[in-house]
Structure 1
Amino acid sequence: MKNRIFGGYRWQVVAVLFLATAIKYIDRNVLSFTMIDESFRRELLGLPIDEPLTSALINSFKIKMGYVDASFKAAYALGFVIMGYLMDRLRVRKGYSLAIGLWSLAALATAFVGNFRSLSIARFGFGFGESANFPAAIKTIAEWFPKKERGLATGIYNAGANMGILATVFLVPFMISNFGWKASFLMTGFLGLILLTLWRWVYYEPNQHPYIRQEELDHIHSDQDMAAKRTLRWREFIKHRGAWAVAIGKFLTDPIWWFYLTWLPDFFNSNEALDTKLELTGLALPFIVIYLSSDIGSIFFGWLSGKFLAMGWSVNKSRKTTLLICALLVIPLMLAALTSNIYIAIPLVALAAAAHQGWSATILTLSSDIFPKAVVGSVVGIAGMVGAIGGTIFAALAGWIIVIYGYFPLFVFASSAYLLAFLAVHLLVPTIQRQKG
């Protein structure tokens, strides 16, 4: 078997990771679209069907939804470090299976909530299970790919997030309009259970795969990592500047992506600066543009850092140049909150989202550049927990900031966060190199 691009079982593994990430993001984004549905708002607020939704009630709803979102992200933070540890201890096949089952059941349970408390509980369980996705995916890629292919592989599976969001744009408004908001959560929960079956059927570690050829195994192990057969303990994490670089990079930028996922439908629906407001069924166009751009950004920047390596650049120069380009492309985002023209706002958000996905794919790849395969799950888990803590804080504040000040302050922070994160990465790790044992 020739080791040409997209040849071999390793790319089938990436395809499954892509699908898993897409389904996860369908599950995650159902709520962000459902929260602009009037029947959902009335039920959560305990209002009769004929009582008008006043501005005061809508503002109260937004603030409480900010706390619900914070509940999800708090569980995500807690789950990240636990799930990262489990991916290393139980191995990916078993550990990720447990996580998929948990988040699918929590998604199904959301269809039966009737108030903000029960919604928060369901979202907490969902966030805890969903937190396994990135530790599992990055560990899988570290096990199945040599270093020169990891950036592209990460970019491809990471692009599943945007495909999931695009699917949500079409599926959820249709489900709500025709069957009510509960049906959308039932649909996505069952998709997760189908994914669980597929994962158990397809995934094996390279050395245990029943059909893999020796040529592909040799290719996968062509730049074999040091064989550290252990997990990363907290006291060791604190000592590693590389781990902190990944963690702080995610702390500052993960909240921005989650902000898009939760609040973009409301931004296009109710932002006072925009002359044109979009209803639930009119969100397809902006979200197609935004998340197709995100897909392109994820794959392109994953390819770009690999291209730099192929040109003879060092890992340090390749990854950091890619991160800097992404950080610069986000800066114009702040103008999206000021323009009155929706056709200007959409491209600005799309550019920022594409740059974020490129940043995300590259910052995650750093963990496998710096650490041995055996501890990648733990590193991504701990770093992801730090990122989720940032997301929890941001989510808890977002609702009332939007109600009091509008979207502009949040967009200003989003525009500058990536440059701050890049500076932190560079200062903590002036030269990217493999950590010992």
Structure 2
Amino acid sequence: MLKGNKRWLYIAVPIFFFWFFGQIDKLGISIIQTDPDFLNDLGMNGPDKNAKIGFITFIFTIAYAVSNLFWGVIIDKLGARKTAIMGLFIWTLTMVFAGLATTYEMFIASRIVLGLGEGMMIPVCGKFISSWFNERELGRAQSSWLAGNYLGPASGAVILTLVIASFHWQAAFFTLAAFNLLIVIPMFVFLTRDTPEEHPRLEKSELSYIRQKSGNEAAKPKQSFVQDYRYWIVWFGMLMSSFLFFGISIWLPTYLVEAKSFSREAMTGITSLSWLFALGFVLINGFLADKTKRPSLLATILFSMTAIFLTAAIFASNPVIAGVCMGLAMGTQGGVFHLSNLFIVKFSTPETAGRAAGLMGFTNILGGFSSYIMGWMRDASGGDFGPSIVMLIVSASLGFIAYLFTLRKEAEEVRAENTPPNGVVI
């Protein structure tokens, strides 16, 4: 069954779980911060309560974004496998430290180190995908591991809610540390290698397929990704996407509980559903990107859908409809994130994929500002989410406008690819 397809086992499976548990580590805080004991134990109360909550994600994403810059260089030097194992050990230790935190300052320190450790996730996966998969299956390869990006938080919302209800908030962090130590690290040690040429159990026929190039691809001139203006448009789009994604995902559980009066159980259900929406958009866009060869057009449509869903959430009188619209808005940005990672591979070479992904990962810095600004705006407006959502709509509109400038060249490339040497379009 695996003959000729072992790359999916050796690479896609480990990085699926890499993101599955990594995203629970990163975004599970959105569930944990709704626990009153967690807030009281670490002193997050008073008139600046929401700003303090937002600062947790703000400081994490600052460290996460900055570390993307140096992790990209490290990956190109050491390889994706060693870098992944190193980062996994770092963030496993931070989960233990977070569970032992007794003050707000100690917990903030744990989030800084977690951000530094997890900053290698995007560059590592960009490097693996660039090295291990044929150019014709990049969309599917990306979506296979990005599925973990959304299934993780969807499952994590349920897991963390149950752990906190059964034990306490500290146990949530110890559980996450155990998952990394017992599941993810062994997968990278025993299954992965930096390149398919290094793997002792890969057949020559599969290696030949991975390295096969299309005639059009082989004829393309080699240029640095920094010389392609579309890379920088995608980079700006990722800035907006990070602002939107972190702003919605971090505050969604609180929005449901405090603004829409959902019970904790109902909040968990809507939150998990929202992550499944994101997974759906990832899978659909992975298929459509390979099928249509128009990822820029797809990203343009997704940004417009985000603005529409956020607007609907503001005007919806029914709490369930408002919550679902917020979840759908978050889901569309999951699709944008997937397409952005596809662009990393498209605009770079296997030798520069780590740096291209690292620079793209730096855009997460704006996600931290989003979570903090939304918290500050809530404090300033007496807990109202309205002004924050309007700010998110503006961000989605900017992303939509940016991608419009990529559509013409993308259409020309598709036409050229479908035109044989005799000039007859097929």
User: Do the aligned residues in 2 keep the contact of 1:338 with 1:408 (CA within 8 Å)?
Assistant: no
The CA deviation string for residues 201-224 of structure 1, in whole angstroms up to 9 with x for no partner, is 110121111111112111111128
The CA deviation string for residues 28-81 of structure 1, in whole angstroms up to 9 with x for no partner, is 1332111111111111118xxxxxxxxxx3542221122222110110111111
Q: Distance in 2 between matches of 1:247 and 1:374?
A: 19
Q: Does 1:252 align with 2:240?
A: yes
Amino acid at match of 2:119: S
User: Do the aligned residues in 1 keep the contact of 2:307 with 2:393 (CA within 8 Å)?
Assistant: yes
SS of the aligned residue for 1:45 comes to: coil
Q: Does 1:376 align with 2:379?
A: no
Task: Give the alignment's Cα RMSD to 1 decimal.
Answer: 2.3
Deviation of residue 338 (structure 1)?
Answer: 4.0
Q: Distance in 1 between matches of 2:180 and 2:2?
A: 35
The CA deviation string for residues 152-198 of structure 1, in whole angstroms up to 9 with x for no partner, is 21122112121111221211111111111100000001211221122
SS of the aligned residue for 1:392 comes to: helix
Instruction: Name 2:191's counterpart in structure 1.
Output: 202
Aligned length: 399
CA 1:369–1:237: 2 relative to 1, 3 Å:
closer
Q: Does 1:29 align with 2:27?
A: yes
Q: Percent identity?
A: 21
Q: Does 1:104 align with 2:107?
A: no
The 5 A counterparts of 1:348-427 are 348-385=325-362, 387-405=363-381, 406-427=384-405
Q: Does 1:215 align with 2:202?
A: no
Out of 239-248 and 398-407, give the one that drifted further.
239-248
Amino acid at match of 2:200: P
Return the TM-score normalized by structure 2. 0.88
User: Do the aligned residues in 2 keep the contact of 1:244 with 1:383 (CA within 8 Å)?
Assistant: no
Deviation of residue 239 (structure 1)?
Answer: 5.1
Instruction: Name 1:92's counterpart in structure 2.
Output: 80
Instruction: Name 2:300's counterpart in structure 1.
Output: 324
Amino acid at match of 1:357: G
Amino acid at match of 2:271: F
Out of 148-157 and 241-250, give the one that drifted further.
241-250
Q: Distance in 1 between matches of 2:258 and 2:103?
A: 23
Deviation of residue 383 (structure 1)?
Answer: 1.8
Instruction: Name 2:8's counterpart in structure 1.
Output: 11
User: Do the aligned residues in 2 keep the contact of 1:246 with 1:364 (CA within 8 Å)?
Assistant: no
CA 1:2–1:105: 2 relative to 1, 3 Å:
closer
Q: Distance in 2 between matches of 1:162 and 1:280?
A: 20
Q: Distance in 2 between matches of 1:373 and 1:142?
A: 5
Instruction: Name 2:116's counterpart in structure 1.
Output: 128
Instruction: Name 1:314's counterpart in structure 2.
Output: none
The 5 A counterparts of 1:110-259 are 110-194=98-182, 195-204=184-193, 205-223=195-213, 240-259=228-247
Instruction: Name 1:79's counterpart in structure 2.
Output: 67
Deviation of residue 429 (structure 1)?
Answer: 8.4
Q: Distance in 1 between matches of 2:114 and 2:65?
A: 12
Amino acid at match of 2:204: Q
User: Do the aligned residues in 1 keep the contact of 2:233 with 2:402 (CA within 8 Å)?
Assistant: yes
Q: Distance in 1 between matches of 2:407 and 2:68?
A: 23
Q: Name which of 270, 282, 286 aligns with 1:302.
A: 286
Return the TM-score normalized by structure 1. 0.85
SS of the aligned residue for 2:48 comes to: helix
Instruction: Name 1:286's counterpart in structure 2.
Output: 270
User: Do the aligned residues in 1 keep the contact of 2:225 with 2:231 (CA within 8 Å)?
Assistant: yes
User: Do the aligned residues in 2 keep the contact of 1:103 with 1:126 (CA within 8 Å)?
Assistant: yes
User: Do the aligned residues in 2 keep the contact of 1:248 with 1:383 (CA within 8 Å)?
Assistant: no
Q: Distance in 2 between matches of 1:96 and 1:282?
A: 36
Deviation of residue 237 (structure 1)?
Answer: 7.1
Q: Distance in 2 between matches of 1:63 and 1:96?
A: 33
